Amino acid sequence: AQSVTQPDIHITVSEGASLELRCNYSYGATPYLFWYVQSPGQGLQLLLKYFSGDTLVQGIKGFEAEFKRSQSSFNLRKPSVHWSDAAEYFCAVGARSNDYKLSFGAGTTVTVRA
């Protein structure tokens, strides 16, 4: 069965500093990988996705993520964080063998300090 692990429950970062959120997945073949962001009291918004091809994918809001098959990872990065990036971030994985239903990690809460 597919699974997703987000090792960091909470990260605090200064405005203007870089951010990296970790995501590890468990699945035998190439998975479909996603990052979502959830602002307080809101639904989830898709930041970016990876299916195949270039392992570095660009998303909205200045985010990017890199797929590393050897490490079973799909880490999310942003070079310079803005206060509006404070939110909860979810990594998700889907697979053909599971009808592409998405499994989500537990989430990482990002706090941005001035």
How many angstroms separate the CA atoms of 15 and 80, rounded? 7
Q: Within 94-113, which residues bind another protein (CB under 8 A)?
A: 94, 99-107
How many angstroms separate the CA atoms of 71 and 92, rounded? 16
**17: helix, strand or coil:** coil
Q: How far is the CB of 111 from another protein (least distance, A)?
A: 16
| Look-up of token digits 């990594």 | 91
Should residue 90 be labelled a site residue for another protein when binding is judged by CB under 8 A?
Answer: yes
Nearer to another protein, 4 or 21 (CB): 4
Backbone angles phi, psi at 85, to 5 degrees: -80, -5
Should residue 42 be labelled a site residue for another protein when binding is judged by CB under 8 A?
Answer: yes
How many angstroms separate the CA atoms of 46 and 8, rounded? 20
Should residue 34 be labelled a site residue for another protein when binding is judged by CB under 8 A?
Answer: yes
Q: Considering only residues 17, 46, 56, 60, which one is a binding residue for another protein as defined by CB under 8 A?
A: 46
Residues of this chain that interact with another protein (CB under 8 A) are: 4, 6, 9, 32, 34, 36, 42-46, 49, 51, 90, 94, 99-107
